Amino acid sequence: MIDEKLFYKRHTCIICKRKRYEYYMKSVLKSSWACKDKYHFQYCCDNKEIEIAENIRQELKKLKFIKIQHIIGK
Ligand SMILES: [Zn+2]
């Protein structure tokens, strides 16, 4: 049984930028989404960049004083 809310909600994939239903996606990083569609073999969620970004996110958690804004100069 598919949760109706899950099925009708749509997100934009951070990798291919396509808008898809949440049912065909995977939650990645903090509040982003990437395709995980076994029917169309679309696996943006396996993209190497997500892994790199996740590593950066984990590293940032170790910083108490320095924020990402300090690093990228925003
Ligand atoms: Zn995608």
Candidates 22, 27, 72, 74; CA nearest to 50 is 27
Q: How far is the CA of 58 from the centre of ligand 1 (A)?
A: 23
- Provide the terminal-to-terminal Cα distance of the chain, rounded to the nearest Å: 45
* Predicted TM-score (pTM) of this structure: 0.77
Q: How far is the CA of 66 from the centre of ligand 1 (A)?
A: 32
Which residues are bridge partners to 32 per DSSP?
A: 28
Q: How far is the CA of 40 from the centre of ligand 1 (A)?
A: 11
Q: Which two tokens stand for residue 15?
A: 């990798």
Candidates 22, 1, 2, 4; CA nearest to 13 is 22
Q: How confident is the model at residue 6 (pLDDT cuts 50, 70, 90)?
A: low
In this predicted model, what pLDDT tens digit does every residue of 21-70 receive, in sequence order? 999 999 999 999 999 998 888 899 999 999 999 999 999 999 999 999 99
Beta pairing, strands 25-28 & 19-21 = unpaired
Q: How far is the CA of 13 from the centre of ligand 1 (A)?
A: 5
